[in-house]
């Protein structure tokens, strides 16, 4: 790694430099001599003000510079310096210290002569006796007081690429703005550029909202069909009251990280509630489930020696990022393909630590994974299971603990991640597992340690929401939710719209073209319906879709009107409907598959 020194770093603390001591062999100690050697390293520059030219591939400096380095090494102080120091540091320090050391000054003044010689014959005689105890350069001693005042923190790390000579003045710099503009234009050309709709949700009229995306100041009333506030808990009276009380009692912010003034009884009580919900020993809160997934998997991959990670091909970006960044060997199995997972697990010895990472409910397809088969297979090969239940917590199971609870397999989930930002109607994420696992992530996870903790309003609101959804009221909400999901699926299919089959509450409607997908979304907005187009990179190219998520507070009349308007928007966009019977309201009786998950 190469460094450039800022002006403040010219007064470097001599205590910070490691120097091999002849009496301790390979061990190192911090001495003033070490500082002197660092200064002497600057002489490797071919002339004052130049930066060191060093090619990493060859690991050699050019011939004339190498000759100069050998000449400089004749200094009794520099002679102890390794070539790695010569390669590592550039010349700025010499401008300050050549005035004190006559040897340094002579060396700089003879730079051109030294570089022209084919072989190095010239030697310098330092006037200082370096025998015995006198092993410090006296010409630098006067700066000792100033040296102590600044630490090496002023060093600025640069990339690992080779350093080059300073370019002539006036040469144009990189066109940052033009590059940014080009990249944005590229997104617009392939229809993956995201335009945020300005939507103000109305708590008193959920799922109604007002839309403000037009240039005029007028607002437009709309119905939202794509919210992740699946059960409307963000506007529940008990949740709002808990938030109000927390605001009055504790203020708006947390005040710091969990380690520095940002931990409270509210944090620990919510973590206990979440651990109890998932039948685990402990839980840990994060600012979002993206951070929870990324941090947990990164920490696991970095600090468990030799671990291999097996990841479902359909995993969320947060899971992928944590796996990729940790650098552990990874194996990607086809989405929900247990046979392929077995094939990959067989290739790794059972004694090797492993973790299998997958989602219970896939956010874009609505698939529910074969959780029990995956967990049984993982444990057969000695692997941990990491299950993302983000789109399931609050929505499935007797107490709303997710699909694992609904299927009676909570004990087979070693680590569960969830969110407070979807069915619980708030913000934040968490992981639950054994006490040791949670303490391990708490102690080593940078994404948990180095960030401000969740504020009291979020904690109290989320805790109230968890309590409601664990109660009989929560079970009624989940049943009504599944009824509306079933009704809407039937209505869309009967109208000839290409609904992608799924057994979850997520209803994907396949479009397959980004421009057409955006067109349908925009036309629906004109009819007063908000459905966000889902294009690349959220889904693969060719899999563009509309993602519908009805709530318990939509009703059959609203669904009927939506389906009628969607058929019209579909045809305006140049898309054709599948042959189907004349549309009629769907039958709500057949939702037995969904009911099993409530």
Contacts of 473 (CB under 8 A, 6+ apart): none
On whether the CB atoms of residues 533 and 524 are closer than 8 A, the answer is no
Other Cβ atoms closer than 10 A to 339: 10
Q: How far out from the chain centre does Cα 333 lie?
A: 22
What pLDDT score was predicted for residue 571? 95
Could you tell me the residue ranges of all domains in the chain?
A: 3-157, 199-224+473-595, 234-469
What's the CA gap between 521 and 499, in Å, rounded? 16
**Secondary structure of 92-127 as H, E, C letters:** CCHHHHCCCCHHHHHHHHCHHHHHHCCCCCCCCCCC
CA atoms of 467 and 480, how far apart (whole Å): 18
Q: Among 454, 423, 453, 416, which Cα is nearest to 438's?
A: 416
**Rounded to whole angstroms, what are the CA distances from 253 to 73, 247, 250, 261, 457?**
59, 9, 8, 11, 8
- C-alpha–C-alpha distance, residues 204 and 283, integer Å: 33
CB burial readout 297-323, b (16+ within 10 A) else e: bbbbbbebeebbbbbbebbbebbbbbb
Annotated catalytic residue 354: no
User: What's the CATH number for 199-224+473-595?
Assistant: 3.90.1150.10
Which is the catalytic residue, given 65, 280, 354, 422? 422
Phi, psi of 456 (to 5 degrees): -60, -35
Q: What is the pLDDT of residue 325?
A: 96
pTM here? 0.71
Alpha helices in 263-398 (DSSP H): 265-277, 289-303, 317-326, 338-346, 371-380
> Is 415 in contact with 437 (CB distance < 8 Å)?
yes
Residue 379: Cβ-neighbour burial (10 angstroms; 0-12, 13-18, 19+):
middle
- Residue-wise pLDDT for 422-466, tens only, equals 999 999 999 999 999 999 999 999 999 999 999 999 999 999 999
What number does CATH give the domain 234-469?
A: 3.40.640.10
Does this chain's domain 199-224+473-595 share its CATH topology with 234-469? no
Q: Identify the pLDDT of residue 578.
A: 80
Please count the helices (runs of H) and the strands (runs of E) in the chain: 23, 18
Q: Which of 254, 280, 364, 378 is nearest to 314 (CA)?
A: 364
Give every residue of the chain whose pLDDT is below 50, as ranges: 1-36, 38-39, 42-63, 67, 70-71, 86, 88-93, 95-97, 111-125, 127-135, 140, 142-158, 580-598
Three-class DSSP category at 417: strand
CB-based contacts of 324, cutoff 8 Å, min separation 6: 330
List all residues 6 or more positions away from 133 whose beta carbon is below 8 Å from its beta carbon: none
**Cα–Cα dist 128/115, whole Å:** 26
Please say whether the beta carbons of 257 and 450 come within 8 A: yes
DSSP class of 308: E
Distance CA 102, CA 406 (A): 81
E strands, 151-219, in order: 155-157, 199-201, 208-211
Q: 3-state DSSP call for residue 326?
A: helix
Q: What's the pLDDT score for residue 171?
A: 72
């Amino acid at each position: 790694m190469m460094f450039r020194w800022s002006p403040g770093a010219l007064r470097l603390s001599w205590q910070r430099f490691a120097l091999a001591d002849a009496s301790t062999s390979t061990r190192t100690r911090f001495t003033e001599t070490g500082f002197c050697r660092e200064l002497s390293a600057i002489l490797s520059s071919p002339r004052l003000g130049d930066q060191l030219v060093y090619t990493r591939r060859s690991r050699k400096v050019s011939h004339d510079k190498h000759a100069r380095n050998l000449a400089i090494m004749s200094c009794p102080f520099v002679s102890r310096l390794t070539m790695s120091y010569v390669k590592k540091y550039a010349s700025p320090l010499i401008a300050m210290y050549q005035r004190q050391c006559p040897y340094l000054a002579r060396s700089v003044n003879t730079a051109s002569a030294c570089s022209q010689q084919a072989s190095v014959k010239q030697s310098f005689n330092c006037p200082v006796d370096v025998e015995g105890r006198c092993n410090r350069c006296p010409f630098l001693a006067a700066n000792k007081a100033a040296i102590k005042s600044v630490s090496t923190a002023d060093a600025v790390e640069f990339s690992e690429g080779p350093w080059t000579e300073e370019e002539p003045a006036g040469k144009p710099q990189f066109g940052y703005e033009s590059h940014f503009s080009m990249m944005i234009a590229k997104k617009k050309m392939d229809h993956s550029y995201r335009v945020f709709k300005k939507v103000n949700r109305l708590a008193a009229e959920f799922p109604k909202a007002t839309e403000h995306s037009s240039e005029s100041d007028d607002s437009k009333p709309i119905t939202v069909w794509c919210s992740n506030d699946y059960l409307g808990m963000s506007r529940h009276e008990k949740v709002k009251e808990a938030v109000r009380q927390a605001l009055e009692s504790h203020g708006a912010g947390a005040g710091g990280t969990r380690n520095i003034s940002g931990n409270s009884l509210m944090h620990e009580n919510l973590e206990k509630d979440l651990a109890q919900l998932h039948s685990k020993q402990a839980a840990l809160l994060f600012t979002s489930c993206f951070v929870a997934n990324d941090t947990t998997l990164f920490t696991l991959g970095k600090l468990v020696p030799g671990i291999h990670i097996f990841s479902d091909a359909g995993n969320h970006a947060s899971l992928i990022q944590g796996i990729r960044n940790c650098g552990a060997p990874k194996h990607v199995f086809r989405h929900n393909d247990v046979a392929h997972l077995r094939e990959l697990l067989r290739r790794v010895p059972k004694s090797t630590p492993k973790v299998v990472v997958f989602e219970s409910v896939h956010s874009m397809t609505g698939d529910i994974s074969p959780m029990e088969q995956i967990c049984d297979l993982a444990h057969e090969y000695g692997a941990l299971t990491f299950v993302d239940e983000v789109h399931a917590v609050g929505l499935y199971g007797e107490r709303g603990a997710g699909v694992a609870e609904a299927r009676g397999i909570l004990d087979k989930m070693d680590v569960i991640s969830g969110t407070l930002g979807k069915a619980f109607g708030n913000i934040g994420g968490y992981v639950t597992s054994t006490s040791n696992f949670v303490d391990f992530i708490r102690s080593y996870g940078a994404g948990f340690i180095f960030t401000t903790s969740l504020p009291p309003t979020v904690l109290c609101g989320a805790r109230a929401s968890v309590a409601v959804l664990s109660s009989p009221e929560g079970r009624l909400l989940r049943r009504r939710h599944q009824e509306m999901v079933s009704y809407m699926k039937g209505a869309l299919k009967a109208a000839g719209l290409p609904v992608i089959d799924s057994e979850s509450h997520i209803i994907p409607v396949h479009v397959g073209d980004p421009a057409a997908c955006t067109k349908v979304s925009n036309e629906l907005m004109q009819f007063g319906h908000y459905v966000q187009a889902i294009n690349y990179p959220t889904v693969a190219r060719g899999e563009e879709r509309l993602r519908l998520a009805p709530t318990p507070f939509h009703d059959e009349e609203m669904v009927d009107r939506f389906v009628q308007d969607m058929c019209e928007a579909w045809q305006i966009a140049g898309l054709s409907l599948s042959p189907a019977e004349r549309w009629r309201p769907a039958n709500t009786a057949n939702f037995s598959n969904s009911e099993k998950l409530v």
